[in-house]
Chains A and B, each alone.
Chain A
Amino acid sequence: MKTKKIFRLTLLLVIATLICTACGQAAQPTIKIGVNAPLTGDIPKVGEGSKFAAEMWLEEIGGELEVGGQTYPVELVIEDNESKAESAASVNQKLITQDEVLAIVGPQSSKQAVPAGGAANDGQTPMVSPWSTNPNTTLNRPWVFRTPFLDSFQGPAVAKFVTEEFGFTKAGVLYDIASDYPKGLADYFKQGWEDIHGEGSVVAFESFTTGDTDFSAQITKIKESGAEFFFTPQYYNEVALIVQQARELGFNQPIVGSDSWGSAELLNLCGEDCYGLFYSSHYLAENPTGEAKEFIEGYEEKYGYVPDDVGALTWDTMHIIERAINECGEITGDIEADRTCVRDALANIKNFEGVTGTMTFTEEGDPIKCALIIKIGDDGSKSVYEQTCPEE
């Protein structure tokens, strides 16, 4: 009796599956784009910025793309990676095998982008990170691209700026050793600084681990070492704590930051303590023109705040992928062929004009772009202080 029932149920399931496969094939293929973002965890504002920009793009194209004379519906598959390395890799795996996305946008920070890039490369699915600046994300991975500049450029650029601006010779560094981005950038900064000022000119190279909130011991050490300023390539929530504690401990010298400071949330948390400081960045929503203006105003109207770096970079990333799909010329419905086609088109993109600058990918899938040095004014406004570009 029981076996009969099970048999019947199984039969029913098999039939249902067969019917569904048939109906699935009949429908027009959907262009699915995965977004792998830290919606919760340490840096939720970053995930939010990416998600908003991606959704704005979807709205702009009206939910469909015309490729080779045919219109295809577009769907975003937005997944949370909790700001964890292992979750980012498994989100990519899910997007590749289960959702069968055509391309992946994200993850944002290098801690997630480096392992997730491996998963995308192994799964032969094009991935474009809109924020990761660590060179390892794209290194030897033909399927992985990025839209920001590299830390190997950013670190020395900041070192050069501080030398020229302040004339300092002794630097301190405070960074998170457990996260790829700060760790990598701290090393590149140190290298860049020592190239200018010689061995031993970084007088304090102090670290902590993700989740720490008390930096008093490290800052006291930096202060004692005679450093004339310190560089801290940390995320916005940590920057607020670091700067405040440095001031309370009587460290009144400049504190310099990197592109991770460029979050819309920074000044909400840091407040007046951060006024007057400098950091390097990808873009600033200041006097925009043309398409950039449209994007910034649209975003602000929709979500109530000016888009930050990650929002602008995600916006560019979405458009680069759109261009690549267009250049492909057709969507066959065979996901592997389509992915290969998109990857090749991405690799061939030349002089893409984005909100954050003009991009042409190198062989490694990295664009060559300029960095901006942003100054936070005494009233909390941000302005471009200087622009540095890579030497040709």
Chain B
Amino acid sequence: MDVFLQQLMNALQWGSFYALIAIGYSMVYGVLMLFNFAHGDIFMVGAYIGFFVSSGLLALNLGSVIGLSTGVELGLVLVLTLIISMLLNSIVGMGVERIGYRPLREAPRASAAITGLMIGIILETANLALLGPQRRSFPELIPTTTITIAGASVTNKKILIVIVSLVLALLVHQFVQRTKWGMAMRAMAYDYVVVPLMGISSDRIALMTFAIGSALAAAAGILFGIAYPVLDPNMGILFGWKAFVAAILGGRGSILGAALAGFLLGFIEIFVTMIFPSTMRNLIAFGIILIILTFRPHGFFGEPFSAQLRL
């Protein structure tokens, strides 16, 4: 039983990252009918921004300047890092939209998807060229404490990661469901052609979608750095692909669907490893997803058909 509980905790943490990144994929896919394949690399950029912001903040030595205890200082640094990095990364995301995707708004969707792949490669290689290939060690923002609950070891990091991810996912969901901007986004997802005629600027909605997705990716990047403190320029590639699978599994444009599918993917990966030889992890995990998609081709919360499929 305690093994099960332990793996459950492992899966919750692992799924959190998929969930946060999948939401970004899903929003862009929903609103613009666009596979933003650069999203995994935007996550990578977010992690690096988080690395530099937190290192910078730590170097400022706020604790001794204002007179805070180490614990409070680290907490403050973490919160500031999250906020600043999310802002900066949303600017990166908007830049990608403006430079990479907007000129191709009317082009065939395949061209836009290819653009995404290219932007991804540009971000990776730019990072390599600017920062060099060596790994970065993410600063320790949370001193680890391990708690044992019913035989399962849980760290304070794990709990924080899961909670922050859930809160962010719910916030975005509320934003899309309750605000006027959110309504505009949903309208765009429903009908791409008519909505701009109603006085809604599609360019602005596109920018906003990218900004929110990239902010979430930055949060995921920082949490990732806290959990796995070795950053490298290619960290977003495989991770991005898997999160993309989660986004499709969740259903087009569905935020809760993407989050749910992200967690599900984490669970499948961890529990497959628990039951079968770990060699077969990806084989079985993605086999299961293939079966799910066979029976639910539109994902969990996807519409059976969309008014404007621009493929």
- Interface window among A237-245, A355-363, A374-382: A237-245
Q: List 7 A-B contacts (CB under 8 A).
A: A208-B278, A213-B228, A214-B10, A214-B14, A216-B7, A217-B273, A244-B229
Contact A250 B148 (CB under 8 A): yes
Please tell me if the beta carbons of B133 and A39 are within 8 angstroms of each other in the complex.
Answer: yes
- Knowing A39-B133, A213-B235, A214-B228 are in contact, say whether A177-B6 is a contact too (CB < 8 A): no
Q: Is A77 interfacial (CB 8 A cutoff)? A: no
Question: For the complex, would chain A's binding face be called helix, strand, loop or mixed by DSSP majority?
Answer: helix
Interface membership of A220, Cβ < 8 A: yes
Provide the bound-state CA to CA distance between A44 and B133, in Å: 6
Q: Is the CB of A269 within 8 A of B148?
A: no
> B150-201: which have CB < 8 Å to A?
153, 155, 157-158
Within 8 A of B (CB), among A213-235: 213-214, 216-218, 220-221, 224
Contacts beyond the supplied A40-B133, A214-B13, A214-B14: 5 A-B pairs with Cβ under 8 Å = A208-B281, A221-B273, A240-B230, A269-B135, A269-B229
Q: Are B155 and A240 closer than 8 Å at their CB atoms? A: no
> Are B232 and A237 in touch, CB under 8 angstroms?
yes
Which residues of B line the A interface, CB within 8 A? Answer: 3, 6-7, 10-11, 13-14, 128, 132-135, 137, 144, 146, 148, 153, 155, 157-158, 224, 227-230, 232, 234-235, 237-238, 269-271, 273-274, 277-279, 281-282
Q: Which of A42, A177, A214, A241 contacts B279 (CB 8 A)?
A: A177
Inter-chain contact B133/A41, CB cutoff 8 Å: yes
In the complex, A276 Cα to B281 Cα: how many Å?
Answer: 32
Interface majority SS (helix, strand, loop, mixed), chain B: helix
Interface pair B153/A248, CB less than 8 Å apart:
yes
Residues of A contacting B273 in the complex (Cβ-Cβ under 8 angstroms): 206, 217-218, 221
Question: What's the least CB distance linking B98 to chain A, in Å?
Answer: 29
Residues of B within 8 A of A211 (CB): 234, 237-238
**CA–CA, A325 to B237, complex, Å?**
44
Q: In the complex, A48→B133 CA distance in Å?
A: 10
Judge whether A265 is part of the interface by a CB distance below 8 angstroms. Answer: yes
Bound Cα distance from A271 to B277, whole angstroms: 31
In the bound assembly, the distance between CA atoms of A344 and B273 in angstroms comes to: 50
Closest to A211 in B: B238
By a CB distance below 8 angstroms, the chain A residues around B144 are 248
- Give which listed residue, A216, A218, A220, contacts B13 with CB less than 8 A: A216
Chain A window 129-167, contacts with chain B (Cβ cutoff 8 Å), 1 for yes, 0 for no = 000000000000000000000000000000000000000
The contact string, 1 if C-beta is below 8 Å from chain B, for chain A 340-364, is 0000000000000000000000000
CA of A45 to CA of B133, assembled, Å:
8
Residues of A within 8 A of B234 (CB): 41, 211
Q: When chains A and B are docked, how far (Å) is the Cα of A271 from the Cα of B279? A: 29
Whether A216 and B270, one on each chain, are in contact in the complex, defined by CB atoms closer than 8 angstroms, is yes
Q: How far is the CB of A272 from chain B (nearest CB, A)?
A: 10
Inter-chain contacts of B132 with A (CB < 8 A): 44
Residues of A within 8 A of B157 (CB): 248
Decide: A249 and B135 in contact? CB cutoff 8 A: no
> By the criterion CB–CB under 8 Å, are A45 and B134 in contact?
yes
Flag whether A253 is at the interface (Cβ < 8 A): no
Question: Which 7 residue pairs of A and B lie closest in terms of their CB atoms, listed nearest first?
Answer: A44-B133, A250-B153, A216-B10, A217-B273, A40-B133, A213-B228, A217-B270
B235-A250 in contact (CB<8A)? no
Which residues on A sit within 8 Å (CB–CB) of B13? 214, 216
CA of A231 to CA of B155, assembled, Å? 24
CB < 8 Å neighbour of A241 from B146, B158, B228: B228
- Structural contact, A220 and B134, CB atoms closer than 8 A: no
